[in-house]
Chain A
Amino acid sequence: MITLMQLLKSDYPADLASAMVVNFQIAGLALAIGLALGFPLALALAGGKGWRRAVAPVLGILRAAPTFVVMFFLLNVIPRDFAIAGIPLAPSGAMIVALSLAPYAASYVGDNGSDAIRALRQGSPDRALLFLPNIVRAFFVLVMSSSTGAAIGVNEGVSVVLRQAEHWPDLGDKLVVFAIGVLAFGIVFQAGFALMRLSVAWLGRRRRTGQTGQTGV
Chain B
Amino acid sequence: MRILLARWLAGVLLALALVGPALAQSPESTLNALLGEVRAGMPANCDAPEADALVRVLCSGHLRVGVRDSYPLFATVQDGERHGYDIDVARAIAQRLGVEPVWIPVKPATRISTLAEGGADVVIATMGHNTRRDAEATFIRPHYYQSETTIVGPKSIQIHSWDDLFNRTVCTTIGNYANARIVSRDVRVMLYDAAGRLPEALRDGTCRLAAQDDSFFAAYLAQDGFGDQFERKFGFDQVPWGMAVAADGADGLAQALELVSLIMHRDGGFLEIAQRDGIFTEFLQSQQALFNNPECIGAAGFAAPDCLIPALEADPPPTAFLPQVEAFLAWTKDTFGVSPALPMLMTQPAWDLFIAGVVNSLILVAGALAATLAFALFVGFISALPYRPVRFLAWLVVVTLQSSPVLLTLVVVTAVAQALFTYSSAVALGAAIVALGLMNGCNAGQAIGEAAESIRRERGLGRGLTMPLFGAAVSRSLTQLLSFLVNAAKGTPVASFTGAPELLAALTDITSFAAGRVATYTIVLVFYMIVVWFVVWVCNRVRARIERTGAGA
Query: How far is B404's CA from A69's CA once the two chains are assembled, in angstroms?
Result: 20
Residue in contact with A158 in the complex, picked from B405, B493, B508, B524, CB distance below 8 Å: B405
Which of B90-98, B242-250, B408-416 interfaces with chain A?
B408-416
Interface flag for B464 (CB, 8 Å): no
Q: Are B403 and A182 in contact (CB under 8 A)?
A: yes
Query: How far is B409's CA from A148's CA once the two chains are assembled, in angstroms?
Result: 12
Query: How far is B511's CA from A67's CA once the two chains are assembled, in angstroms?
Result: 20
Residues of B within 8 A of A68 (CB): 491, 493-494, 496-497, 504
Residues 496 to 513 of chain B near chain A (Cβ within 8 Å): 496-497, 504, 508, 511
Interface flag for A38 (CB, 8 Å): no
Q: Are A166 and B419 in contact (CB under 8 A)?
A: no
Known: A69-B504, A76-B521, A163-B205. Is A148-B529 also a contact (CB below 8 A)? no
Which of B403, B405, B520 has the most chain A CB atoms closer than 10 A to its own CB?
Answer: B405
Query: How far is B26's CA from A5's CA once the two chains are assembled, in angstroms?
Result: 72
Query: How far is B404's CA from A204's CA once the two chains are assembled, in angstroms?
Result: 30
The smallest beta-carbon distance between A66 and chain B, in angstroms, is 5
Q: Are B511 and A76 in contact (CB under 8 A)?
A: yes
Interface flag for B350 (CB, 8 Å): no
Q: Are A73 and B536 in contact (CB under 8 A)?
A: no
Q: Are A148 and B536 in contact (CB under 8 A)?
A: no
The smallest beta-carbon distance between A62 and chain B, in angstroms, is 10
Q: Mark B52-64, 1 if CB is under 8 A from A, else 0.
A: 0000000000000
Q: Are B517 and A76 in contact (CB under 8 A)?
A: yes
Residues 54 to 82 of chain A near chain B (Cβ within 8 Å): 60-61, 63-70, 72-73, 76-77, 80
Residues of A within 8 A of B402 (CB): 186, 189-190
Known: A66-B493, A69-B504, A190-B399. Is A175-B412 also a contact (CB below 8 A)? yes
Q: Are B511 and A182 in contact (CB under 8 A)?
A: no
Residues of A within 8 A of B493 (CB): 66, 68-69
Residues of A within 8 A of B408 (CB): 147, 158, 161, 178, 181-182, 185
Interface flag for B335 (CB, 8 Å): no
Interface flag for A114 (CB, 8 Å): no
Residues of A within 8 A of B491 (CB): 66, 68
The smallest beta-carbon distance between B210 and chain A, in angstroms, is 11
Query: How far is B508's CA from A189's CA once the two chains are assembled, in angstroms?
Result: 32
Residues 181 to 217 of chain A near chain B (Cβ within 8 Å): 181-183, 185-187, 189-190
Interface flag for A162 (CB, 8 Å): yes
Residues of A within 8 A of B532 (CB): 63-64, 66
Residues of B within 8 A of A134 (CB): none
Q: Are A147 and B405 in contact (CB under 8 A)?
A: yes
Q: Are A148 and B533 in contact (CB under 8 A)?
A: no
Q: Are A153 and B411 in contact (CB under 8 A)?
A: no
Q: Are A64 and B536 in contact (CB under 8 A)?
A: yes
The smallest beta-carbon distance between A30 and chain B, in angstroms, is 14
Residues 19 to 33 of chain B near chain A (Cβ within 8 Å): none
Residue in contact with A174 in the complex, picked from B205, B207, B415, B511, CB distance below 8 Å: B415
Residues of A within 8 A of B508 (CB): 72
Query: How far is B524's CA from A38's CA once the two chains are assembled, in angstroms?
Result: 25
Q: Are A185 and B403 in contact (CB under 8 A)?
A: yes
The smallest beta-carbon distance between B202 and chain A, in angstroms, is 11
Query: How far is B491's CA from A171's CA once the two chains are assembled, in angstroms?
Result: 25
Known: A69-B528, A162-B411; 11 extra A-B contacts, CB below 8 A, are A61-B529, A64-B490, A77-B517, A80-B193, A80-B194, A148-B406, A155-B204, A163-B205, A182-B404, A185-B403, A185-B404
Q: How many residues of B contact A (CB 8 A)?
A: 49
Query: How far is B152's CA from A30's CA once the two chains are assembled, in angstroms?
Result: 35
Q: Between A and B, how many residue pairs show CB distances below 8 Å?
A: 126
Residues of B within 8 A of A187 (CB): 403
Known: A166-B157, A182-B400. Is A153-B206 also a contact (CB below 8 A)? yes
Q: Mark B446-457, 1 if CB is under 8 A from A, else 0.
A: 000000000000
Residues 501 to 551 of chain B near chain A (Cβ within 8 Å): 504, 508, 511, 517-518, 520-522, 524-525, 528-529, 532-533, 536
Q: Which residue of A lies closest to B518 (CB)?
A: A77
Residue positions of B touching A, CB distance < 8 A: 156-157, 171, 190, 193-194, 201, 204-208, 399-400, 402-408, 411-412, 415-416, 418-419, 490-494, 496-497, 504, 508, 511, 517-518, 520-522, 524-525, 528-529, 532-533, 536
Residues of B within 8 A of A182 (CB): 400, 403-404, 408
Residues of A within 8 A of B511 (CB): 76
Query: How far is B168's CA from A165's CA once the two chains are assembled, in angstroms?
Result: 12
The smallest beta-carbon distance between B500 and chain A, in angstroms, is 12
Interface flag for A49 (CB, 8 Å): no
Q: Which residue of A lies closest to B511 (CB)?
A: A76
Residues of A within 8 A of B156 (CB): 167
The smallest beta-carbon distance between A132 and chain B, in angstroms, is 22
Residues of B within 8 A of A162 (CB): 411
Known: A171-B415, A182-B408. Is A66-B399 also a contact (CB below 8 A)? no
The smallest beta-carbon distance between B434 and chain A, in angstroms, is 16
Q: Which residue of B lies closest to A153 (CB)?
A: B206
A–B complex contacts, Cβ < 8 Å, 23 sampled: A64-B532, A68-B493, A69-B493, A69-B524, A76-B518, A76-B520, A76-B521, A77-B517, A77-B522, A80-B194, A145-B406, A147-B407, A148-B406, A148-B494, A150-B497, A153-B206, A155-B204, A155-B205, A159-B205, A178-B411, A181-B404, A186-B399, A186-B402
Residues of A within 8 A of B403 (CB): 182-183, 185-187, 189-190
Residues of A within 8 A of B405 (CB): 144-145, 147, 157-158, 185
Residues of B within 8 A of A181 (CB): 404, 408
Residues of B within 8 A of A67 (CB): 490
Q: Which residue of B lies closest to A67 (CB)?
A: B490
Residues of B within 8 A of A14 (CB): none
Residues of B within 8 A of A4 (CB): none
Q: Are B190 and A72 in contact (CB under 8 A)?
A: no
Q: Which residue of B lies closest to A71 (CB)?
A: B493
Q: Are A153 and B201 in contact (CB under 8 A)?
A: yes
Q: Which residue of B lies closest to A193 (CB)?
A: B402
Residues of B within 8 A of A158 (CB): 405, 407-408
Residues of A within 8 A of B416 (CB): 171
Q: Are A66 and B193 in contact (CB under 8 A)?
A: no
Q: Which residue of A lies closest to B403 (CB)?
A: A186
The smallest beta-carbon distance between A77 and chain B, in angstroms, is 5
Residues of A within 8 A of B205 (CB): 155, 159, 163
Interface flag for A152 (CB, 8 Å): yes
The smallest beta-carbon distance between A78 and chain B, in angstroms, is 10
Q: Are A73 and B411 in contact (CB under 8 A)?
A: no
Interface flag for A8 (CB, 8 Å): no
Residues of B within 8 A of A165 (CB): 411, 415
Interface flag for A89 (CB, 8 Å): no
Query: How far is B205's CA from A163's CA once the two chains are assembled, in angstroms?
Result: 7
Query: How far is B522's CA from A202's CA once the two chains are assembled, in angstroms?
Result: 46
Residues of B within 8 A of A80 (CB): 193-194
Known: A162-B411, A178-B408. Is A65-B525 also a contact (CB below 8 A)? yes
Query: How far is B444's CA from A75's CA once the two chains are assembled, in angstroms?
Result: 32
